[in-house]
Amino acid sequence: MSSGLIPKRKPLPISKQEPPPIIPPEPVDPKQQPQPLTSTWSQKWSHLPQRKRRLLLAALLLLLCLLALIIGLAVGLTVGKKASNLPLPTSHGGPYEGDLTYYDPALGSCGITSSGSEAICAVSHVLFDAASIGSNPNENPLCGLKLRLRRGKKSVDVKIVDRCVGCKVNDIDVSRSVFSDLADMALGRVLVEWAWLEDSPVAM
């Protein structure tokens, strides 16, 4: 007769699992790695012939100079067209009052070719002829002299480049740019005060 004891079971053997094999990373070809942009350009630049590099540098320098010139001209035209608020001087003659008109300048009596965007003017034929020293109008002492126009609170300095046949003695004919700085273009003719900025060879 059994004692009633249950025999102990033998523990099941635990199977040892081997760890997964370690796969080494595949070697990367350095030629396939992305190169920095600066490195790529420097390599291309270094491979260029010396003559071609000089030509590229010269073209780049020329482009920069042209860009600077365009910006300078644009700024100069903007500043040149802006009216100021300066008083009329009295040390060189004036102020005088006359009609202000505008015209489309080209080759003037002083032998200077001008455009409508420049600060130029034509004085009366009376003044121009009175200052003449010979048969060649290009040598007239008034050519190149400057005077200041003033209307209201706006003033513009202009240079004499032409002779106005239809102007009275104190009238001034100016470019469209100057007229628009001082008055509405639709008016066409307005009163203006002006004075010499330099000694004038004509007594008025």
* 21-61 pLDDT per residue, tens: 677 666 655 556 555 555 566 767 677 777 777 887 888 88
Residues 38, 12: Cα–Cα separation, whole Å: 67
Q: Give yes or no: residues 153 and 63 share one domain.
A: no
Q: Give yes or no: residues 56 and 114 share one domain.
A: no
Residues 191, 147: Cα–Cα separation, whole Å: 16
What's the pTM value of the predicted model, to 2 decimals?
0.60
Residues 115, 103: Cα–Cα separation, whole Å: 10
Residues 101, 124: Cα–Cα separation, whole Å: 12
Q: Give yes or no: residues 67 and 103 share one domain.
A: no
Tens-digit pLDDT profile for residues 70-92: 776 655 544 444 678 898 988 88
Q: Give yes or no: residues 129 and 160 share one domain.
A: yes
* % pLDDT > 90, the chain: 50
Q: Give yes or no: residues 64 and 107 share one domain.
A: no
Range of the domain at 155: 96-196
